[in-house]
Each structure stands twice: as C-alpha cells, then as structure tokens.
Amino acid sequence: MVNLNILSKIKDFVFSAAMLKILSFVSFTVILTAIVASQNFFFQSVIENGISKKDIIAQKTLTVIDVKRTEQHKKEVAQKVDPVYTTAEDDFIKNNLETLETSILQIRKKDVEPNVKLEELSLLFDISEQSTKNFVINFFLKADEHTLRESFDKANLTLSNILRTGISEKDFENNNINKIISENLVSNVSKRQVTIINSLLSQILVPNLVIDEFATEIARKNAENSVKPYETTFQKGDKIVFEGEPVTRLKRDALRQAGYNVYELNVQGLLALFALVVLATIIYIAYMKYFEKQFMAPRYFAVSAFSSILVSGFAVVMPTGFSPYILPIPAFVILLSIFTSPRVAFVATTVLITVLAVGVQYSAQVVVTFLLLSLIAMVTISQIRYSRRFDLIKAGFIISAAGLLIVLSIYILEKCLIDVSNMLILRDSTYIVLNGIISSMIVFWIIPLFEGLFNIITPYGLAELADHNQPLLKTLLRDAPGTYHHSLMVSNLCEAAAEAIGANPVLARVGAFYHDIGKLQRPLFFIENQSYFGIDNPHKNHNPRVSKMLITAHPKDGVELAKKYGLPSIINNFILQHHGEGLVSYFYNQAVKEEGVENVQEEQFRYPGPKPNMKETAILMLADAIESAVRSFKNPTSEDIENIIDKIIVERLNDGQLSDSPLTLHDIKVIASTFSRILRGMQHERIKYQELDEKLKNNKINIPSKLLDEDLENKIKQLEDPGSQKSNEENNG
C-alpha cells in the first residue's frame, strides 16, 4: 500500500505543472548550449589534437599578424625602458646635515679635554682612510668660526645641487657618491674644503630618487605600442597548413580569417558553457520572480526563450570574420520591450550578451556597444506611442544614431592607442546603423506572428481591437446600442483611471469596450437597450430567479463570443471579472419580497465570478457600476456624483469584491477622484430643443421581432416549471 502511494505521488509529480516547468527549463538550457557550442565542433573536421588533417589552401590573400612574435618583441622593448624616478626624502637628508652640523658645534663648545672632543668627533664620521679621518676631525676641532661656517654653507649649497639632480640606489651600488659630490660642488672651493664637504655629505646622503611605478608602466606601454606588429602574408593559392602540420597560433589566426572556426571545445568546456547558460537563465527567472511578477506566465518565458534561440542561432551561423555589429540585438530588445516591458528586455539582453560573449568569443568593444545600445533602446521604446506605428520605425533611427555614436567613440579612443583601419571603422559604423533601422522593421513585421504564436496581446494588438470598425463592436452597436454607448462611457472612465494610477490605460480601455459583449445573446433583457427600443421590461413576465439567471449569464456568453471572434484571452478577464461575485441586488430583493427572507440565500443571486485580480479589471468593476448608477439620475449634481462614487466603492469593499485585486487604498482614492472629474464633465448642462422634442414624441421605433431565441424560451419554461425549479436552484446555488 505504501509503495502504491509513493508510485502515485511520483506519477502525479511527473504529470504536474512543476515537472513541465523543469522540463522546459532543461530543454531551453540544453538547446541554447548546443547552439552556442555548435560552431566549436566545426573545427574538428580539419584539425585533430592540434594537427592538421588535410592541406588547407588560401582562397584569397590573407595578411595575418604574428601575435606571438609581436608580443615577444614588445616585451623585449619594454624591458629596455629605464625606470622613471621621482624625488623623495629631500627634507630628511637636509635635516640630517643640519643635525650633524649642530652636533659638531656642541662638541666644540664643551668644556672638556681636547682628547675627549677628538674622540666624540671621531664617532660622528665613518671614514675608512685614517689620515683623512684625522684631518677632518682636527679641522672641525681647531678651525675658526668663520672657516667652519663657510664650510657648512658650501656643504649645504652642494647638497641642494645634489638633491636637485637626484641620487638613486644604483648610484650607491656603483660607489658613485664621491663622483656625484664632486660634480655638484659649488664654485670657489679649496682642496681642503672639498675633503670637508665630502666628509660631511657622505655621512648623511641616502637615495632620494624612487621608482615611479605608474609612470614607468606608462613609459613601457608607450614603448610597446610603438612596436609595429610582425605580419605574415598568405597569397591566394598558398597553403595555410599542410596535412600533418602542427597548427600554431599564427596558422590558427590565418584559418580564422579564411573562414574556419578554430575554437576547440572539449567535454569540460561544454559543461562549463552549459553551467553558464543555466546560471544566466536562473538569474533571469529570479529577476522576473522578484521584480516582474506580472510576466511570470509561461507564454512570456516562451517569447524570451524563442527570441534568445533565434538571436543565438544567427550569431552562430554568421560567417567568421563578419562584423558582429550586424547581430540583431536591437530587434531582440525592441521585441521583448513590446511583449513584456523595457526593463525585462534589458535584463534579458544583458544575460544573453554575456552568454554570447563567452560562447562566441565577442570582444569587449562589441559587448560594451550592445549593452549601451540596449539601454538606449529600452528608454526609446518606453517613450513610443503605440497608436502611431511609425513611432516604432522612428525608434529604429534613434537606436541607429546612438549605435553610430557609440561605435565611433570606441574606435576614436582605440585609434589614439593603436593603428585602426579606416575601412574597418566605416564597415562597422555602416552595419550598426543598418542594424537599428532593419531591427525596427523586422519587429514591425513579426509582432502579429508572435501575438498569434504565443497568445499575447501587445499594445499594437490592443490598438487594433480599439478600432470601432471591428466586427464585434459594430454588431454591438447595431443589436445592443444602449450597451455599446454604456461601454464607451465606461471605457473613458477606465482609461483615465488606469493612467492615473500607473496601470495599462490601453488595456483598460479595450477591456471596457468588450466587457459586456455577452449581452448580445439577449440584449432586450438589459435596461439600457429596452429604453432604446422603447419596449416594456420583459423581466416583468418572469420570476426573480429566472431573471437572475438571464442577467448573470452574460459573462459566460461573452467568453463564448470572444472565443468565436478570436479575441485574446486577456479580454476574458474583463468579461468574467467585471461583476466579480457581486450580488444581483434588484432581483434578490424581489425574491425576498415574494418568497420571504428565510427562503432566499444571497449566494443564489450572485454572479459566478471570479473577483477582479488585475488593476484594470478592478477599475472596470467600479467604473461599470458607477457609470450605470450616475446614468440612472436625471440631472445629478456634483454632490450626487460624489455620493454615488463613495457609496459604490464602499459597497464593493465591504462585500470583498476587491480583495483579490492589487489596488491599494491610495489607488482607490485616485480612481474615485478621476471618476468624479470625468463624470462631472459628462453631466454638463445642455440646451433643450422643444421643436425637435415634439417630433420625437410622435415617432415610433420598430422593435426587433426576435426578442428571445427558441433555446431561451425553453430554458425559461423549464425554470418556471415548479417541478424543475428546485433542481435548477441547487445547480446554481
């Protein structure tokens, strides 16, 4: 029994939604890894273990830089550059000389025996030659003050000259101190003073020149950059490699220019690339989960995955040596911006470029260019107006101009450091300009295809649905004109409120257009159409329970019509949720009067729901009820409108109809204020035309002969039959 339970749980997991997500994740990462890695296996057809399997002949003249030889020469040149020194320790050395002079003067002033003074002075000087040492000590002991001061002054001047020139560690290692002192002596120095100055300065001198690592590195880099690269030319018809020849770095570069992919990818490399793809995918999913929850539906991930695979495939099949600036990254950004959001598009692009940079070996310049261009594209697309399709093409031109500026900036900077071909700059600049323009055109063409493929409605699709020439809206205008005009008024309220709270105003407007299409099944059972056709209320002929069934059926009927006319699934949310699980209070109160409160349950007179779970559908619920209530007043004042709005919002809140929606109390306050402003504008005073009014009273309006279809007549008879009413109540309770 335990084993059966375990097997049952395993079976449930295998066929669960979680397992489907895992399989989708694994499939995508494996496919993307295979695509990116596929180019690396082509090399194995001509090279095996670094040895050429056949002769490869150049089909055109190739000039290849011998990178290894050039780098070796650069290192040799850099090593010959002498270090750049900077001065230091000057104050320290001057202070040492001053301290030595002070010590000599203090010893001379001591009231002690001359032998003691000689002994103390000898400790101050480390002179190897004894005769010189004796001469120096006797001089400092017996010289008069004027001669002593003159020697000190000339020693200080000589020291200043030495410090200005500088002394390095190398000078001390080569015993050049005496030579340096002699070269920097001041003028008019006697032979005796030369010995004294040498003795003083040799005791206190230390290196004052230290190596400036940064300046030295720049000097060496400049020396390296001055080295012209060694080039090897393969004329057309020359053999690049012979069969059985080891493929060196130079030969690999020549093969790459000839159109061969020269990267070998072993099992470890393949696993590393797969790990990178998995990590990148997890980062993208985590971002969506924590920051873009509204796009967590599988269809949005499908768009991202499919687009990533297309771009990666394009990158792989692009011939080696072809400009990478033709890679359709701008099209990827624009497409995802329209189907999700610009922020999602930028994150997805960053992740994809990272994978391609590693897998396809793009340079840092290419990566930086596309990252900056993606950021610019994200901002540009966020500003376009979807009601004007040319704005998308204009965005392509803006992206092209930005790409051109980025590419030129990078190449101009490179040209300051190395020699860059002007033809290369012109080629890549042309490609990046064409890339932006062509990308916008590709997206313009591919949007309808992706909308149908992934069942996602874009702002462009919404703009098409908002066209009043749509067949369903024209049918609504013809067969249910009251409902049509009610939907128009509600759409204005929804659009303004959605824009005020940062929701999607286009989606709110279009959803409001179609929310009541279910009333087309039996339009004359709804009061806004009864007044238009001038007929009596048909609900007078039916009991409240039947009327409730007829009224609450219009959301379900609307979904069926939406499916018939191919409306996107998101419109179903507006159709089903605009009443939530609200109470049909009019027929509920009638039932209470006829049957008694103890025989009537509220649940039997509620809409089937669900409650609104989007900002836009919650706005629609409020707008639908408020517009109907305000219209029921003949000439409502501003105060009446405010009271109606407050009353309906409080009722919906107390009834829990907004409990599943993401609206905040601040959002509701803004919505109420927006409704009030719009409705007060709709209820302005009008001039009454009496002559026209008299003519209208004398006219008669033809009523459609078909009020109720045959199926509806049968349903009503069954509901009104006492024997079947109980069972129907149980089914709909």
pTM for this predicted structure: 0.62
Asked if the model's pLDDT at residue 716 lies above 60, the reply is no
Q: Residue 564: its pLDDT value, please?
A: 92
Residue 188 has a pLDDT of: 77
Report how far residue 100's alpha carbon sits from residue 105's, in angstroms, rounded to the nearest whole number.
9
Dihedral sign of CA atoms 698, 704, 705, 707 in order: negative
Mean predicted confidence (pLDDT) in 30-46: 75
Bridge partner list, 64:
232
In three-state secondary structure terms, 62 is: strand
Give tens-digit pLDDT for 55-99: 777 777 778 888 788 888 888 888 888 787 777 667 788 888 888
**pLDDT over 90, % of the chain:** 38
Tokens, residue 9:
């749980």
Q: Which residue has the tokens 């109160």?
A: 589
Nearby residues of 507 by Cβ (< 8 Å), 6 or more positions away? 457, 462, 498, 570, 616
- Alpha-carbon distance 404 to 77, whole Å? 37
Please, which pLDDT band fits residue 349 given cuts at 50, 70 and 90?
A: very high
Residue 615 CA to residue 47 CA, distance in Å, equals 61
- Report pLDDT digits (tens) over 683-708: 655 555 555 455 545 554 444 444 44
Split at pLDDT 50, 70, 90, the class of 560 is very high
Regarding predicted confidence, which is higher, 420 or 146? 146
- Which helix (H) or strand (E) segment holds residue 492: the answer is helix 481-501
Question: What pLDDT does residue 723 have?
Answer: 43
Non-local CB neighbours of 168 within 8 Å, separated by 6+ positions: 85, 207, 209
pLDDT of residue 706: 43
Q: For residue range 602-661, what is the model confidence (pLDDT) as tens digits?
A: 888 999 989 999 999 999 999 999 999 998 888 888 899 999 999 999 999 999 999 999
Residue 3 pLDDT grade (very low, low, confident, very high; cuts 50, 70, 90): low
The overall average pLDDT reported for the chain is 83
What domains appear along the chain, each with residue ranges and CATH number?
Answer: 85-211 (no CATH), 267-456 (1.10.1760), 462-685 (1.10.3210.10)
Beta bridge partners of 85: 211
Question: Average pLDDT in the 595-601 region?
Answer: 85
Q: What is the pLDDT of residue 727?
A: 38
Sign of CA dihedral 322, 324, 325, 327: positive
The residue among 397 and 101 whose pLDDT is bigger is 397
Residue 1: per-residue pLDDT = 47
pLDDT in tens, 504-557: 999 999 999 999 999 998 888 887 777 777 677 787 778 888 888 888 999 999
**Separation between Cα atoms, residue 251 and residue 255, nearest integer Å:** 6
pLDDT at residue 8, as a whole number: 64
